[in-house]
Amino acid sequence: MKILGIETSCDETAAAVVEDGSRIISNVVASQIDIHARYGGVVPEVASRQHLLTVIPVINQAMTEVAWQDINGIAVTFGPGLAGSLLVGVNVAKAITLAKKLPIIGVNHLEAHIYANWLKPSSQSYPFKGEETERMNCGVKFPCLCLIVSGGHSDLVLMKEHGQFEKLGRTRDDAAGEAFDKAARILGLGYPGGPAIEQAACSGTPCLPLPRAWLKESHDFSFSGLKTALWHLVHKGEVSVADAAASFQMAVSDVLVAKTIEAAKQLKVEQILLSGGVAANRTLTQLFLVNSPVPVIIPPPYLCTDNAAMVAACGYYNLQTCKISSYELDVVPSLGIG
Ligand code: KG4
Ligand code: ZN
């Protein structure tokens, strides 16, 4: 069964075809990063206009190797995300499903991030070797604990079965990716902040004293105090940007790893599944791999950040559990999970 996935929730216009919820046939991502970088963050109005310009060429490119009659359904992100951006994807998906007489499957972007862990790239579309290959899906086992760390969310979610999610924790202020983006701005590094901080941290050491918000009584996270402490450290005197970046990265990773592993032990889960753009961070993934008592599944970096293959994979499992949408499908910008 082949599903076409469409993703336009933020600043990536993406389309992909995935077979049986795991084999990637095509995966096209048109990033708007260069356009938004000059403003230091995503400008919603600019994002939706750019999606309008790009979405059809991106879908056509994803469909070059596949015949429309072989497509069994179209999965599209309907939330959470920027309203104007989501509207582009949802309306294009409605138009195509109507014309091609296909089912439309609304997909929750957060659930889609989790489903990146089911993807097995085909050899042609898989640019990584060695370590990356080993990190790939070794077969997900339920119940598993999912950490979604993206630009807008830091959620800890218990997944008992396909489509069954229970939210255990969330961020009380900044999301992990948002904290990386704000820290990069404080340090005068580029946008998006995550890759910029990771790059800068390579030539530094995590030697600076930065706080960790453990929030011991709950599975929630908090990163705004850390960001403020970084600001004070930088404005107080001479600190090297590389050391500050390494110290910040380590502080965020420490908390994410320790709290997730603690929850995994409490809940006796089989595995930990990482997802979202921040899961592309190697300090974070190495800490998980070294410290976790249960297997940790991590998508390769290009499937951690926004893409449509994860939307197609999620759509496949939605279809299996009869979660098909109607043409009434509308965007839900503040959609949550669990
Ligand atoms: O999942 P994603 O692509 O989009 C959202 O759904 O938000 O995540 C984007 C976030 C950005 O905040 C970006 O700075 C962060 O993921 N990110 C990283 C890395 N790559 C992307 N954070 C830390 N290290 C990275 N290598
Ligand atoms: Zn995302």
Among the atoms of ligand 1, which is closest to the Cα of residue 181?
14
Q: Is the pLDDT of residue 134 over 80?
A: no
Name the nearest CA neighbour of 111 among 280, 262, 313, 252: 313
Cα Rg of the chain, angstroms: 19
Ligand 1 first shell, C-beta below 6 A: 10, 150-152, 177-178, 180-181, 192-195, 198, 276-278, 280-281, 305-306
Name the residue of 278, 287, 334, 337 to mutate for ligand 1: max ligand atoms within 8 A of Cβ. 278
The mean pLDDT of 238-255, rounded to a whole number, is: 97
Q: Whose CA is nearest to atom 22 of ligand 1?
A: 194
Per-residue pLDDT of 185-226, as tens digits, reads 999 998 899 999 999 999 999 999 999 999 999 999 999 999
Name the nearest CA neighbour of 244 among 175, 171, 193: 193
Structure tokens at 327: 């043409």
| Residues 6 or more apart in contact with residue 102 via CB below 8 angstroms | 71, 72, 73, 74, 96
| Ligand minimally distant from the alpha carbon of residue 277 | 1
Among the atoms of ligand 1, which is closest to the Cα of residue 184?
14
In what helix (H) or strand (E) does residue 23 lie, and over which residues does it extend? strand 23-31
- In the chain, what percentage of residues exceed pLDDT 70? 95
- What's the gap in Å between 277 CA and the centre of ligand 1? 3
Name the nearest CA neighbour of 280 among 250, 259, 315, 306: 306
Q: Whose CA is nearest to atom 16 of ligand 1?
A: 277
Query: What was the pLDDT predicted at 127?
Result: 40
- Name the residue with tokens 């580029």: 190
pTM (2 d.p.): 0.95
Helices then strands (H, E): number in the chain? 12, 11
